Structure formats: C-alpha cells, structure tokens
Amino acid sequence: MHGTRGPGQPRSGSYAGGVSDDGAQAVGDVAAERAEEMAALRRAQADLADVDRALARLDDGTYGTCEACGVAIPDEVLADAPATRACPEHAAAVAGRTADGPAGGAQI
C-alpha cells in the first residue's frame, strides 16, 4: 500500500532547493527594504531635528541667518530648504559639524 507515488517523489529534493532559493531572495529583499526604511527614518529624524532647531531660531530671532557668520541666508535657499542653518559658503561646515559630532569640523 505504501510507495504508490514513488516515481513522482525523487524530485522533492530539487523542489526544496528551489524553495530555499526563493526564500533566501525574499529574506534579502526584506532586509534591503528594512535598511531603506531605517535610512528614511534616520533622514526624517534628522530633518525633524533641523525643523526643531529652525523653530527655536524663529523664537530667538536668528532664523534665516548663517550660524557661522551671521549673514542673511538667501531667500531661494530658504525656500528650497526652510531649515537651512548656514549661508551657502558655510553650509558644508555647519552640516559637517552636526553629522561628524562635536569634535573636529573646523578644517575650513
């Protein structure tokens, strides 16, 4: 009574291989998606911190001026990135200061 389906079964090994390939690919996709989401989340948190800072600067009246030299930031820059904290000349220096941490960044 057993073994009636014998001829069809020997291929189960290759089936398993195919399934595990698909599975590995799906896991990779999920990991990549999650990494993208984490990156997006980090960007959003950084943006939010910038907006918080911009709001604080609105309160103390320094919004729209460069944190490094105090010059007025061009309107077109503020229109494009309202949370901008520095004039184009100091944008990299100010951004680098927060991204790399408190130490260093005074190379310019």
Write out the residues near Zn ion by the rule CB under 5 A.
66, 68-69, 87, 89-90
Closer residue to Zn ion, CB minimum distance, 40 or 71: 71
Q: Amino acid identity of 42? A: R
Radius of gyration of the chain (CA): 27
Closer residue to Zn ion, CB minimum distance, 19 or 69: 69
Residue closest to Zn ion, measured at CB: 66
Closer residue to Zn ion, CB minimum distance, 33 or 89: 89
Token output for 39: 């990156």
* Cα distance between residue 106 and residue 104, in whole Å: 6
